[in-house]
Amino acid sequence: MRENDCKNAMRVAELYEPGHTMAWDYLIQYTWPWEALSGIHDFILQLGATLSDSEYERRGDSVWIHKTAKVAPSAFIGDAVIIGANTEVRHCAFIRGDALVGEGAVVGNSTELKNVILFDKVQVPHYNYVGDSILGYRSHMGAGSITSNVKSDKTNVVVNCDGEKLETGRKKFGAMLGDNVEVGCGSILNPGTVVGSGTNIYPLSMVRGFVHANSIYKKQGEIVEKHG
């Protein structure tokens, strides 16, 4: 076992550093990050109502887009969405709704977002699906990598924590990525994936359960700790 035990390592305060998302005060109320998923819609509506009209353009009743953000005309923006400063939303992005996209983020061509919090500087730039997930500061999902947020048997998602199973009580739960996580192209993050900060996931990986911080995930059963 590493210095921090598995359960402690999955706590909000361990996965993420404060100061890199407008959602911090909301998230830090919870022990486990997935507990925040059920309240994202209401949180965005409450936060949006406090945003300055001089900084954010309001579209309809529930969309706020920072005036420095670049949003392609072909992008779809659903309900309950906040897009932060200097963020780029590219051609044919599909932001279904209930999404907080942080400052300086990139949402790319044909990327779909639903019920998510993206910290500042997150990149989901090419053909990604991110649903019922929280992506930490400067995390990056390579082209074609996706979160799978529902189990095939439709039962509640559990998180495998070094052999112990944690019940989440949720049928929809994609991935919790810590800060500075790199996900390789074509990877699938299965329901209940939690990845500690600074970890690299090899391309074409199938990831499930908890992966410790500062690791290199090569494949199931072959995870090594970074050195230097």
How confident is the prediction for the chain on average, in pLDDT? 95
Which pLDDT band holds residue 3 (cuts at 50, 70, 90)? very low
| pLDDT for 4 beyond 60 | no
Per-residue confidence (pLDDT) for residue 162, from 0 to 100:
86
Cross-strand bridge partners of residue 226: none
Residue 133, phi then psi, degrees to nearest 5? -145, 160
Cross-strand bridge partners of residue 195: 177, 211
Which pLDDT tens digit goes with each residue over 173-205?
999 999 999 999 999 999 999 999 999 999 999
What is the distance between the alpha carbons of residues 93 and 25, in angstroms, rounded to a whole number? 28
SS3 of 38, please?
A: helix
Per-residue confidence (pLDDT) for residue 228, from 0 to 100:
61
Which pLDDT tens digit goes with each residue over 48-64?
999 999 999 999 999 99
Domain ranges of the chain: 6-214
Provide the whole-model pTM.
0.96
Q: The domain 6-214 is classified under which CATH number: 3.40.50.720, 2.160.10.10, 3.30.470.20, 1.10.1470.10?
A: 2.160.10.10
End-to-end CA distance of the chain: 20
Apex 60 CA angle, 129 and 128, nearest 5: 10
Which pLDDT tens digit goes with each residue over 132-178?
999 999 999 999 999 999 999 999 999 998 888 999 999 999 999 99
Which pLDDT tens digit goes with each residue over 82-135?
999 999 999 999 999 999 999 999 999 999 999 999 999 999 999 999 999 999
| pLDDT for 2 beyond 90 | no
215-219 and 200-201: which strand pairing? parallel
What long-range pairs does 201-205 form, CB within 8 A, spacing at least 24? 203/142
